[in-house]
Amino acid sequence: MKEKATSFDIAHIAGVSQSTVSRALNNSPLVNLETRQRIQQIARDLNYKVDKNASNLRKQKSNTIALLLFEDPTSDDSMINPFFLSMLGSITRACATAGYDLLVSFQNLDDDWHAEFEDSNKADGIILLGYGDYTAYRTKLAQLEEQGTHFVRWGAHDENHPGVSIGCDNYQGGRDVTEHLIGLGHKTFAFIGDAQSHAPEFQARFMGYQDALKKHGLLCANHRQFNAISTEDAGYEASQLLLNEDNLPDVIVCASDLIALGVLKALRQTSFRVPEDVAVVGYDNIPVSAFATPALTTVRQNTKRAGELLVTTLIKAINKEPVEDYLMPAELIVRQSCGSK
Amino acid sequence: MKEKATSFDIAHIAGVSQSTVSRALNNSPLVNLETRQRIQQIARDLNYKVDKNASNLRKQKSNTIALLLFEDPTSDDSMINPFFLSMLGSITRACATAGYDLLVSFQNLDDDWHAEFEDSNKADGIILLGYGDYTAYRTKLAQLEEQGTHFVRWGAHDENHPGVSIGCDNYQGGRDVTEHLIGLGHKTFAFIGDAQSHAPEFQARFMGYQDALKKHGLLCANHRQFNAISTEDAGYEASQLLLNEDNLPDVIVCASDLIALGVLKALRQTSFRVPEDVAVVGYDNIPVSAFATPALTTVRQNTKRAGELLVTTLIKAINKEPVEDYLMPAELIVRQSCGSK
């Protein structure tokens, strides 16, 4: 009986590595189309059949990355917030480019998601993407690490956290947008957004904002803060509190674009004009921010780059290559809403 | 030796069905929190351990739904178009609600995706979501059906296609928006968008548009059509051709919002005002359409409902319950850009 053809045979005939053969047979875009087609032709000629299950068991790889989405407590029960959705899109795309499937699973922070991947061979590694209080799941991350599960976390570096993190510099983003506003001559400020430890992203943005004000001696009498979770409604409601007070600040700094959209909505119902009477800035650069009236000045977290970094870093970890934390710079996007008072 | 506890024991003690036990242990939101916690407590008391792999093999279920995304030929290589992204979000959310994980996989129409799920136990069923020429993969759908794979297709019912389809009525959407425009007194029309069989959604919208014009005797001399794929750039370019011709129509009907955004951009660079000099309408109701200047009149495909229908229909099919095609009605959204000439 003739021996069954192996991927080694194909690699030999094609003059490429076995991993290139594997990628080509998985139709990975990492192999250029011509080479892919040539390898696929050789495989057909040899009557080669991939035994997917066996091959996955052998290499203990599922060619799948799991994305655990932790419930965004700020979203309503039916929609994903635009920043999350954008990340979901870019991670999906980055996985496709790398030849991986993506297993998306919503989780509650309290659940036993850290045990879920212990015995199963569902995914080669995990991306953790979530809002909220990261400290609540520190012990679970430690368990993941102990059991040798590869994972990458979306968020800022935190020395109390095991594992690798990819994040965007929320402190710098908050500081830069505030410095820009101060440079435009604005003197009095309000900040809308939860600025507490249970919302670490917002808190970092707020600290950057606060430090910029401090540096220019503008903090003491000239600043107010209103709580709001990241929704248009919460921004709208916080604006009502602000509008009920005696004096309008020169500028309202919002912890997210969704909050800023709610603020713009509230201001449209008054005689105050944006940015002439009051400037407004957001954070996230969600797609609609460019189309708001006036167009929102905001801070961009590059979700496309973030998705690519999360996926490529995780794949490196899966392949036992060295990986490290990375904090992407935040990018100020100046549009019309910040004015030039 | 004491027998290991089974889900039957837990069901008996808790006074619920075995499937409720299974759902509760999978943390499905279909079981209310109190019951879930009570069942989980009983499981802990009995020292019950779910053997995930064994249990999946036994019931041949992975509690996972696969979403095959067919490359949108109209998108650039790094971004998912906003309609697709919105569907991805709603399908992800609908899976979470039903207690399923979602396995997302980009595919090329030409690939052997129909064979991928034949032997593997990666998913209990498949959602097919894609643009383009469905006729190209009819035989693959037939193969899926033969091998007993459960699948649901996004798109209009087509008697030549095996399997169940959930779609939105593109013909009716195209007709309704055109009827509305005619009712506003518009007399001359241009349509921007590929209106050929390789783009069946656009073609159906175009046919609805055309039939409305015919009905009112407006088709013959008063209508022009320009090809464009679904991008802002393509809309912008098609507008240049239109603007180079002698007379501007009363209204430009676009096959998608992205095209319409390109048209609005091109018109901003002229002295023509929207909607005073020329009305513009889009299709899809992508998030930015409400924020365009002027706000776009468009046709909504309810992506939230679509995601829910795709997921619940597929789960019914997996559970061997009867399922049937469903065509959601399209919904006209009137904003400022259609004018009232």
Which residue segments constitute the domains of chain A, with CATH numbers given? Answer: 7-50 (1.10.260.40), 64-167+302-328 (3.40.50.2300), 170-301 (3.40.50.2300)
User: How many other C-beta atoms can be found within 10 angstroms of the C-beta atom of residue A246?
Assistant: 4
Is it the case that residue A309 has pLDDT exceeding 90? yes
What chain B residue is nearest to A54 in terms of C-alpha separation? B120
Higher pLDDT, A221 or B232: B232
Residue A226 and residue A242 in contact, taking contact as beta carbons nearer than 8 Å: yes
Binning pLDDT at 50, 70 and 90, where does residue A8 land?
confident
Q: Say yes or no: ipTM exceeds 0.85.
A: no
**pLDDT tens across B114-152, in order?**
666 654 667 899 999 875 566 667 777 777 787 788 999
pLDDT reported for residue A111: 64
pLDDT reported for residue B107: 75
**pLDDT tens across B215-237, in order?**
999 887 678 999 998 889 999 99
Mean pLDDT in residue range A313-329: 93
Higher pLDDT, A20 or B291: B291
pLDDT reported for residue A341: 47
What chain B residue is nearest to A103 in terms of C-alpha separation? B103
Residue A14 CB contacts under 8 Å (≥ 6 apart), including other chains = A20, A21, A35, A38, A39, A42
Q: Which of A28, A63, A80 to mutate to test the interface with B (most CBs of B within 10 A)?
A: A80
Q: H/E element holding A8? A: helix A7-14
Is it the case that residue B56 has pLDDT exceeding 50? no
Whole-number Å distance between alpha carbons of B332 and B283: 9
DSSP string, A234-272: HHHHHHHHHHHSS---SEEEESSHHHHHHHHHHHHTSS-
Min mean pLDDT across A10-19, A310-319, B107-116 is at: B107-116
Is it the case that residue B1 has pLDDT exceeding 80? no
pLDDT reported for residue B280: 97
**pLDDT tens across A133-144, in order?**
666 677 777 777
Whole-number Å distance between alpha carbons of A172 and A178: 10
Residue B246 near chain A (CB below 8 Å):
no
pLDDT reported for residue B74: 46
Min mean pLDDT across A280-294, B96-110, B195-209 is at: B96-110
Is it the case that residue B338 has pLDDT exceeding 80? yes
Structure token digits, residue A128: 């953790």
Binning pLDDT at 50, 70 and 90, where does residue A73 land?
very low
Of A69, A103, A120, the CB nearest to B53: A120
Structure token digits, residue B253: 């009907």
Is it the case that residue B331 has pLDDT exceeding 70? yes
Q: Which of A55, A57, A101, A257 to mutate to test the interface with B (most CBs of B within 10 A)?
A: A101
Is it the case that residue A300 has pLDDT exceeding 80? yes
Structure token digits, residue B79: 């971004």
Report CB contact under 8 Å: B92, A104.
yes
Higher pLDDT, B9 or B174: B174
Min mean pLDDT across A181-185, A307-311, B65-69 is at: B65-69
pLDDT reported for residue A57: 39
